Amino acid sequence: MSENYDVVVIGGGPGGYAAAIKAAQLGLKTACIDKYINKNGKPALGGTCANVGCIPSKALLDSTWKYHEAKEDFAVHGISAEGVSMDVPAMIKRKDDIVEKQTGGVAMLFQANGVTYLQGTGKLVAGKKVEFTPHEGDMQVLEAGSVVLATGSEPIQIPVAPLHEDIVVDNSGALEFTEVPKRLGVIGAGIIGLELGSVWNRLGSEVVILEAVDTFLPMVDKQVGKELLKSLKKQGMDIRLSTRVTGSEVKDGEVIVSFSDDEGDKNITVDKLIVAVGRRPYTEDLFTVDSGVNLDERGFIFVNQSCQTDVPGVYAIGDIVRGPALAHKATEEGVMVAEIIAGHHTQLNYDCIPSVVYTHPEVAWVGMNEEQAKAEGDDYKTGMFAFMANGRAVAANETTGFVKVVADSKTDRILGVHIVGPQASEITMQAVIAMEFGASVEDLQMMVFAHPGLSEVLHEAMLDVDGKAIHSAKRRKKRR
């Protein structure tokens, strides 16, 4: 006998659990199927983000930055901190405790909102039915009014560097080192590679990052990327662009990594190797051919702007559909889809989704960068202001970086904001709000920002778009 639900969600990550909770809040009988088993052998909600992605990596980034500050930066404040050391197992335990709290919190939200949590795998079949196979037990068929596919993504593995025990690892393995590797190699200078490289670099690893492309963080504004690259190299990270890994060999507990660059074929020997070359949509065994769901040319599930697939009543969200692979993008798509299923009219503004690199300094951006504006032939203008000219940043000894604004020359509309510097992830949200409401540069120029505050850099960058920055030594033409 099959079970009937108004909504069945397959996947309990940020998009899936948000869709399930919102659907239940809107009065729909909802079930969420999730198959994830954590390292302790227990089912855990939250997907990659909560278990082996966003949350645990930020825990390690915060812990290691505090260690770095105590060891390297406290003296400037008059604080003497001698003999500072890091207990790596204690740091990992703290990370695990945070993960357990976050994933347990999702389970509590399911219970509080009446979402049925089904532990196992789900597959969409013809007729908008879902085959649910529990971890223990027989498969049963679920009847669903609507289905939401939200299975996320998985790390890309490459033949030249196959994973090997705890020596050659992906992003999840890099969160579990119990001691600091003396020599650490990272394949891929993307967001994941840079963040994980930063974690172990701060603890003393000699970090070498090998990146195949010749541009550092190509999706980032070129000036912002250049500033971050300079800062990370200053911190001791050896980042090599135009470097293609051709092979790897685990020998005597070490990894010999072969690669080629502009000078020819080379190799390095490291104690640990992290493979972080990107992620791909996880759609394996998610639906049958006759389900009616189709993939696009890149392997993503084809959806429209409302995340509806080619099958009425079947939606797909998050990393398995077009757009950036971001937890917050998946969450908002989940909420949007649940509201659409419940009969509400809603949409998501994909032009105002922020992105963040949680290195130090942080990098964050929203909207169009200067290279994109130039490529599209837009008549644009820019403004920029550095943190070194900001009183709060100077007081905090956090003066690296700047805020850059891209705006339409004719309409004065803000096209994009790009930040490298302290609390970039938080400051960017002010730009997101402004852009969501269609604010102009002049709108923000006329606003009063609290002093002293890091957000004043955003204000001055807006002023600089029209040559009006107050705390700038640049000579400007007189204005009438």
Buried-state track 67-94, b at ≥16 Cβ within 10 A, e below 16: bbbebeeeeeeeeeeeeeebebeebbeb
Tell which residue, 17, 23, 10, 22, has the closest CA to residue 46: 17
What the block records as the tokens of 88 is: 């790596």
- List the alpha helices (DSSP H) in 116-190: none
- Residues annotated as catalytic are 451
- Do 3-155+280-348 and 352-465 fold alike per CATH? no
Per-residue pLDDT, 479: 42
Per-residue pLDDT, 480: 31
Q: Are 317 and 150 in contact (CB under 8 A)?
A: yes
- CATH number for the segment(s) 3-155+280-348: 3.50.50.60
Residue 463 exposed, middle or buried by CB count within 10 Å (0-12, 13-18, 19+): buried
Q: Are 403 and 431 in contact (CB under 8 A)?
A: no
Residue 124 exposed, middle or buried by CB count within 10 Å (0-12, 13-18, 19+): buried
| pLDDT by 10s per residue, the chain, length 480 | 479 999 999 999 999 999 999 999 999 999 999 999 999 999 999 999 999 999 999 999 999 999 999 999 999 999 999 999 999 999 999 999 999 999 999 999 999 999 999 999 999 999 999 999 999 999 999 999 999 999 999 999 999 999 999 999 999 999 999 999 999 999 999 999 999 999 999 999 999 999 999 999 999 999 999 999 999 999 999 999 999 999 999 999 999 999 999 999 999 999 999 999 999 999 999 999 999 999 999 999 999 999 999 999 999 999 999 999 999 999 999 999 999 999 999 999 999 999 999 999 999 999 999 999 999 987 999 999 999 999 999 999 999 999 999 999 999 999 999 999 999 999 999 999 999 999 999 999 999 999 999 999 999 999 999 999 999 877 554 443
Listed in sequence order, the residues at least 6 apart from 373 whose beta carbon sits closer than 8 Å to its beta carbon are: 380, 406, 415, 416
Give, in words, the CATH class of 168-277: alpha beta
- Its pTM stands at 0.95
* Helix, strand, coil percentages for the chain (3-state, nearest 5): 35, 25, 40
- CATH number for the segment(s) 352-465: 3.30.390.30
Per DSSP, the three-state class of 319 is: helix
Domain boundaries, the chain: 3-155+280-348, 168-277, 352-465
